[in-house]
Amino acid sequence: MDLPQAFIDKYQDLLGSASGPFLQALQEPGQKGFRINPLKAQQTPRDLSLTKKVPYGQWGYFGQVAGKGIDHLTGLVYSQEPSAQFVGEVVNAKPGEKILDLAAAPGGKSTHIASQLNGQGLLWTNEIFFARAKILSENIERFGVKNAIVSSMDASDLAKALPAYFDKVLLDAPCSGEGMFRKDHDAIQYWSAYYPTECAMRSHEILESAVKLVRPGGELIYSTCTFAPEEDEQTIAWLVKHYPEFTIEAIDRPAGSGIQAGRPEWADGNPDLARTARLWPQDLPGEGHFVARLKKAELAEDERPVKAPKAQKPSKMSQADVTLMEHFFQESLPGFDLDESRLRTFGDRVFLLPVDCPDLSKTKVLRAGLCLGTLKKNRFEPDHALALAVNPSQAGKQVYDLDAHDDLATYIHGDVINTKDDLQKGFVLMTANGNGLGWAKFVNGQLKNFFPKGLRY
């Protein structure tokens, strides 16, 4: 890998004698990683080993996920570079909190936060670029997240809609990508000596909105995948100077992890910058990252709290449509908690909103909680997202184990399955490795395939 000479000169100057191991590490192959999804009923992968654990976090392991493997298709695992997994650990979401992932695509950090929330609270995950937001929404769906809102909005518009609303806001900032050079060689082509400064200015603009989204007493977590001080320590120094209500909080760096402290001398000398964290490829088996955690001051006695946004009102559904849905859940998913007070329709699709969902009328939303299915003439058709989110043990008799019947390849190919199983006419949850994979409809001894056409192979 040919690194730009200006990049080499820069880090030889910054790192001195330590630059040799750093530059050498960038020439060596990186490590692949993944996380186990604790939201799934069965948490043992079929095709991956759990013997080599990432040295921080509960769910991280080293290994490479197969994109067409059953572990991936059922959302049991999420492929994520090992160093990137540390960011989610710093967020440390607690069940019941309201968390915003502001620049979230493709979804690695959002799914990590969803694991921590464990279905309680609200995960709002946003990506300004719509094409990338669609990928984000697909990954949220595959992971089986029920309590997430996926939006595609500019940070400033989101701050207007939900000021001081979130307990924690994560900004994994768009950056120069220096930390990904050995993983993504194309990133080198975009780099120039001035690019980190350009990226830092863009981060400042986003942070101006991000700080408005944090409630008093809440936290802002800032991360990058670059080594550049302009985007790392210098940006945090700028933040606390311009927004003195934020203070830099210490980040726990587990013993033996190789994670290093931030470098105050690369910014304005503020000693609190040593509370930030740097992940260097010569010190640990992962790529380059920087993470900072900041706390917003509580309201002063003479300050008025920002008015909370209105709650989202459920859609008014006809009794006939409600009856169709109730019949489906009674027959196919009797253990599922269908809270009719949280149902929201978008066209003919029905979503189960997160608990205490805020008003969505001024937001551009792709996914509002869990998509349950589609209302069609005289019938309700369950969505693929529901199959991925439900625990198969809730489905009663309407479950078909593809492994036990040796029909997995047939189902993934999109073919009809003939069976002599004692099933009722209607929708059947298809499972693999103990987790939901999709739907089929049982009629006259045949399971009509509802596996999404875009996923078939």
Domain segments of the chain as ranges: 5-296
**Spatial separation of the C-alpha atoms in residues 320 and 455, rounded to whole Å:** 33
Binding residues: 103-109, 127, 154, 172
What pLDDT, on the 0 to 100 scale, is given for residue 1? Answer: 78
pTM: predicted TM-score of the whole model, two decimal places? 0.96
Positions at the binding site for S-adenosyl-L-methionine = 103-109, 127, 154, 172
pLDDT of res. 302? 73
Q: What is the DSSP string of 169-221?
A: EEEE-----GGGTTT-THHHHH--TTHHHHHHHHHHHHHHHHHHHEEEEEEEE
Using an 8 Å Cβ cutoff, are 133 and 151 in contact?
A: yes
Q: From the first residue on, what is the mean pLDDT of each consecutive set of 10 residues in the chain (457 residues)?
A: 94 97 95 97 95 93 95 97 97 98 98 98 98 98 98 97 97 96 88 96 98 98 98 98 98 94 98 98 96 95 82 89 92 89 94 96 96 94 97 85 96 97 94 97 97 95
CA 146 to chain centre: 12
Decide if 225 is catalytic: yes
* Predicted local distance difference test score (pLDDT) of residue 176: 95
CATH dotted code for 5-296: 3.40.50.150
- Helix H or strand E encompassing 54: none
Q: Pick the catalytic residue: 175, 225, 357, 371?
A: 225
| Amino acid type, 195 | Y
Least Cα distance to 153 among 210, 199, 112, 200 occurs for 210
pLDDT at 364: 96
Please give the pLDDT value at position 448. Answer: 98
Determine the number of helices (DSSP H) and then strands (DSSP E) in the chain. 14, 22
Kind and range of the H or E element at 279?
Answer: strand 277-279
Around 444, how many Cα atoms within 13 Å sit in the side-chain half-sphere?
A: 0
User: So what's the pLDDT on residue 410?
Assistant: 98
